[in-house]
Amino acid sequence: MPDTTQEYDLVIGICRDIFLKKMQDYGTAWRILRPTSLTDQIYIKANRIRSIEEKGVCKVNEGIVPEFIGIVNYSIMGLIQLELGRKEDTGEDFEKIKTLYDKYFQQAKTLMLNKNHDYGEAWRNMRISSYTDLILMKINRTKQIEDHEGTTLISEGIDANYNDMINYAVFALIRLTVETKENPINNSL
pTM value surpassing 0.75: yes
Contact 165, 79 (CB under 8 A): no
Whole-number Cα distances in Å, 91 to 36, 40, 84, 162: 21, 24, 14, 25
Per-residue pLDDT tens for 56-102?
Answer: 988 888 899 999 999 999 999 999 999 999 887 767 689 999 999 99
Q: Which of 27-36, 41-50, 54-63, 112-121 has the lowest mean pLDDT?
A: 54-63
CA distance 122 to 11: 19
